[in-house]
Amino acid sequence: MMNLLSLLLPLQDVSAEVIDRIPSGYNHFILPYFIGILFCISWLLVGLLRNLASLPAEDRKRLALSLVTPKTAWKNIRDLFCDCLFHTKIWKRKPLLGYMHSAIAFGWFMLIILGHCEVALFVPKHLSFKEGNLFYPIFYRFFVWANPEHTTLRGSLFFFLMDFFLLYVLSGIGLAMFKRIRSIALGMRHTTKPSLADRVALYALWSIFPLRLLAESFTANLSGGSFLTYSANVLLRWLFGENLYIMPWWWAYSIALGLFFFAMPFSRYMHILTEPLLILYRNAGLKIRTLNRGFGEAEIYACSSCGLCLDACPMNIQKKNLRFSSVYLIRFLRRHNQAKVDRIADKCLQCGKCAQLCPVGVNAPAMRVVQRSLSNNVIPYHYAYMQDVAAAAPASQGKVLYFAGCMTRLTPRIIKGVEKVLQTAGIDYVFADKEGGLCCGRPLMLAGRTDAARKAIEANRQMILSSGCTTLLVSCPICYKVFREEYDLPGIRIVHYTEFIQELIASGKLSMEKDGTRYVYHDPCELGRGCGIYEEPRAVLSQAGTLCHASKERDESLCCGGSLGSLTLNYKDRGKITEGALETLLAENPECIVTACPLCLKTFSEKSAVPVKDFAEVVAGHLPQASA
């Protein structure tokens, strides 16, 4: 056996090497690793400087300020640990997948940290500060030998920890390999198609840790090791005899590392190093202004291409629409493939689920809107007529101003319901757009027509401010979101009717009579993920009847298919999305579907076999008979 191996691997004798390895801290085998990481670091450094330079001056100032503000600094630290190392967001949804990611990320991180500790503790100072210090922590077991029989307790603790974390990483790698074969076992129906650079980096990453295990195992009788490496070493010596050929394994390990770092900037693994930057930018409160520069570029490179957005996207009820997922938007943005980027950007329904579930927190819907604005803002229109709206403010000094919005005006039963509830509760209100009004601006925003949206927002803002109202009540979540985010209305409370009615009931101004009807509540995208309102409508509906669960609800809720967000999705595909969403709603056989968005109401009503009702309509139907 030994003879055969020595024929195949004509290598130097181990004992001959011993002497010059320790003092120099250098061996030729580190070269692949060294070149790889040198390339990677310089590439990243140039990229980072370019990115920082492309930030607008005001954003740069904001970033600097956020780094020294204790509150954001603390948030940065917490997010860096939770998102980058522990992957808590994935843990919460898919525990096994979370384990896989955190095993690789946190395990590797600990190996690096512990490696440096070992060097600091055990390598003589005069050596570690000389030329060798670069490679001691990475290839510690090669350069520093400790006779296993004479290790101190402190030393063996480190040996144990290093072996433990290596095993931890290896378990993650094992799961990752299994995921390639059967992703559903880890909770993913679809995974991304890896690009060429992804593949190179992926296979390199897969081989790094098994090779490290082999290299350290081959050396363990000389360098020392713990339960994993030393046991493997005993096995290896039993198999191949006492004189083990260690060099090929260290070379292979170094090559795998080098290859990984070399491929990294071109692959999905770039996110390991760019995600921290995105976290800092995000916590500093920066907004996406342009793609391929500044914050937008950080988002693009922070995408880990993990493909969790594939299963999240409601369009993917049809497999052919997988190609419009956020992960591919970002891939083609990276490749500057304008035609594909435009097509993907326009197709999205803007339901926000991919952004909500993204482990890195990439806001792909916002990126799509920016992309849309590049081509859609060029159409010239006249907006003079908007001034009439601004001037026609209904006097509502100190009162509630009800703004129904275009979509509610097309679904009159909502208006009927809202008015009945308001009258029953004795609210003094004024109907702002009874005679017609102006678009809230949100659909224009979604279409990337930001200039037009600004015009509409300003005209509406003037109308609302000069009305003198103190509360602005809306029944459409689409309006609600834009009012909350884009309107500057000092002193005016903006409230959605689900919140308002819940408060009326809580304060005793309104009471409801419960019956046995089984309701299911559909979370509209703009209200749930868009504005974080999940509890209020449920609290009210549970007083109208029995509230059933949908198989996907709250932040997992599916778009109804009628969204204004998509510019190009055809009605047939939308219909499929509607049918899919209805299926999730009917999981517990409810008798009635309730939603709090005119668009969801309209979309579901056309397809549903079960009656679909508006939130206010249900409330109005459950008012006590005396007052009704």
Partner 1 sequence: MKKNILIIGGGPAGLEAAASLKHSGNNIILIEKSHQLGGHLARWDRLFPDGIRAREVLDKMIASLDGVNYFTDTDIAQINILDRSYSVILSNGISVLADAVLMATGFDLFDARKKEEYGYGIYDQVITNADLEDWFRTREDSRIDHPKRIGFVHCVGSRDEKSGCRACSKVCCATAVKQACEIKAEFPDAQVYCFYMDLRMFGKHYEDLYLKAQKEYGIRFIRGRVSEVAEQIDKTLQVKAEDTLSSKPLKVTLDLLVLMSGIRPSQNLEPVRKALQLAKDDDGFINERDAVYELQKTSMPGLFVAGAVTGPKTLPDTLAEARAAALQILSYLADNDKKPAK
Which residues contribute to the site for partner 1 (CB under 8 A)? 409-413, 416, 434, 436, 571-572, 575, 601-602, 605-606
Instruction: Please tell me the distance from the alpha carbon of residue 348 to that of residue 357, in angstroms, as a whole number.
Output: 16
Instruction: Please tell me the distance from the alpha carbon of residue 69 to that of residue 254, in angstroms, as a whole number.
Output: 41
Cβ proximity to partner 1: between 24 and 605 the closer is 605
Cβ proximity to partner 1: between 13 and 579 the closer is 579
Cβ proximity to partner 1: between 179 and 522 the closer is 522
> From the CB of 493, what's the least distance to partner 1, in Å?
27
> From the CB of 475, what's the least distance to partner 1, in Å?
14
Q: Check if the beta carbon of residue 194 is closer than 8 Å to that of residue 133.
A: no
H/E stretch holding 401 reads strand 400-403
> From the CB of 499, what's the least distance to partner 1, in Å?
24
Sheet holding 429-431, edge to edge: 429-431, 400-403, 471-474, 493-496
> From the CB of 391, what's the least distance to partner 1, in Å?
18
Give exposure, 265-280, as e/b (b: 16+ Cβ within 10 Å). bbbbbbbbbbbbbbbb
> From the CB of 606, what's the least distance to partner 1, in Å?
5
Cβ proximity to partner 1: between 287 and 434 the closer is 434
> From the CB of 603, what's the least distance to partner 1, in Å?
9
> From the CB of 571, what's the least distance to partner 1, in Å?
5
Instruction: Please tell me the distance from the alpha carbon of residue 364 to that of residue 355, in angstroms, as a whole number.
Output: 6
Cβ proximity to partner 1: between 304 and 411 the closer is 411
| Listed residue (509, 593, 425) closest to 417, CA to CA | 425
- Provide DSSP, 24-37: H---GGGHHHHHHH
> From the CB of 516, what's the least distance to partner 1, in Å?
25
Cβ proximity to partner 1: between 371 and 408 the closer is 408
Q: Check if the beta carbon of residue 235 is closer than 8 Å to that of residue 221.
A: no
Which phi and psi angles does 162 have, rounded to 5°?
Answer: -60, -40
Strand, helix or coil for residue 473: strand
Cβ proximity to partner 1: between 436 and 516 the closer is 436
Residue type, 456: A
Output the six-digit token pair for 296: 């937008």
Q: What angle do CA 272, 52, 202 make, to 5 degrees?
A: 20
> From the CB of 563, what's the least distance to partner 1, in Å?
13
Which phi and psi angles does 222 have, rounded to 5°?
Answer: -95, -40
Which phi and psi angles does 298 have, rounded to 5°?
Answer: -60, -40
Residue 363 DSSP label: -
Cβ proximity to partner 1: between 411 and 450 the closer is 411
Q: Check if the beta carbon of residue 476 is closer than 8 Å to that of residue 408.
A: yes
CA 538 and chain centroid, separation = 26
Output the six-digit token pair for 541: 């509906």
Q: What angle do CA 78, 80, 83 make, to 5 degrees?
A: 95
Cβ proximity to partner 1: between 221 and 603 the closer is 603
Output the six-digit token pair for 234: 């005993």
> From the CB of 436, what's the least distance to partner 1, in Å?
7
Cβ proximity to partner 1: between 182 and 382 the closer is 382
> Bridge-partner residues for 494, per DSSP?
472
> From the CB of 297, what's the least distance to partner 1, in Å?
39
> From the CB of 434, what's the least distance to partner 1, in Å?
8
Cβ proximity to partner 1: between 9 and 410 the closer is 410
Cβ proximity to partner 1: between 252 and 315 the closer is 315
Q: Check if the beta carbon of residue 525 is closer than 8 Å to that of residue 311.
A: no
Burial of 18 (0-12, 13-18, 19+ CB in 10 A): exposed
> From the CB of 613, what's the least distance to partner 1, in Å?
12
HSE at residue 64, side-chain half, CA atoms within 13 A, is 8
Cβ proximity to partner 1: between 389 and 548 the closer is 389
Rg (CA), the chain: 30
Q: Check if the beta carbon of residue 464 is closer than 8 Å to that of residue 395.
A: no
